[in-house]
């Protein structure tokens, strides 16, 4: 896949094909991923090139990604547990949740930290920067779905807190928007089927 400005156009692609790809996209839970099957660097490049063509007001391009795979996944696991321990009241602390946070990053081949890099000039409202990152993630997710790669966007509360921000070395104004678990589905896994209510029930046309 090549998402350069020229090749990224939809010229020659039928609307029906695009709609089918959008409808195919699913959240594949990490437990359904093959943690040992590698994702090629060329494929990563294609995924991030797709993400890079998200809409961005003022061309600030606020999306930032850090990919943890192999042994580095332990860094994410420890950071999640540390953040949960630091930011959870003793009365609400759940040992099973703490343990799960330490295991989840190893279920997928890779974990991607999602960051909104705040424009230091502040010329674009923060919410528009967050929306831009979400669009970048959708682009990446669609590109992944096109080749059968699983993606799961996880946003536990601790990823929004100060402890996890410190782990990611975020600067003032930057925000972590969660984690992407990425991996090939386990052999024999059937691609999930989903449904939506009537699209036009959510639309109003004004004359």
Domains of the chain: 27-188 (3.40.109.10)
Q: What is the mean pLDDT of the chain?
A: 92
Residue 176 · residue 170 · CB < 8 Å: yes
Q: Is the pLDDT of residue 3 over 50?
A: no
pLDDT digits (tens, 9 = 90+) for 145-202: 999 999 999 999 999 999 999 999 999 999 999 999 999 999 999 998 899 999 999 9
Q: What angle in degrees, to the nearest 10, is found between the helix axes of 15-24 and 126-146? A: 100
Rounded Cα distance between 116 and 24, Å, is: 27
CA angle 30, 35, 38 (to 5 degrees): 125
């Amino acid at each position: 896949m090549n998402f350069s400005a020229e090749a990224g156009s939809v010229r020659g692609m039928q609307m029906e094909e695009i709609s089918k790809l959008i409808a195919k996209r699913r959240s594949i839970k990490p437990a359904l991923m093959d943690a040992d099957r590698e994702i090629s660097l060329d494929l990563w490049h294609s995924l991030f090139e797709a993400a890079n063509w998200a809409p961005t007001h003022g061309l600030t391009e606020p999306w930032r990604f850090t990919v943890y795979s192999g042994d580095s996944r332990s860094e994410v696991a420890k950071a999640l547990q540390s953040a949960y321990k630091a930011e959870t009241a003793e009365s609400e602390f759940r040992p099973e949740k703490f343990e799960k946070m330490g295991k989840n990053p190893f279920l997928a081949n890779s974990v991607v930290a999602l960051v909104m890099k705040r424009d230091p000039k502040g010329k674009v409202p923060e919410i528009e920067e967050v929306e831009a990152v979400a669009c970048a993630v959708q682009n990446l997710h669609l590109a992944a779905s096109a080749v059968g790669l699983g993606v799961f966007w996880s946003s536990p509360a601790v990823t929004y807190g100060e402890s996890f921000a410190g782990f990611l070395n975020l600067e003032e104004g930057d925000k972590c928007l969660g984690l992407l678990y990425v991996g090939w589905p386990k052999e024999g896994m059937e691609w999930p089927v989903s449904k939506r209510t009537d699209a036009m029930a959510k639309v109003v046309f004004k004359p």
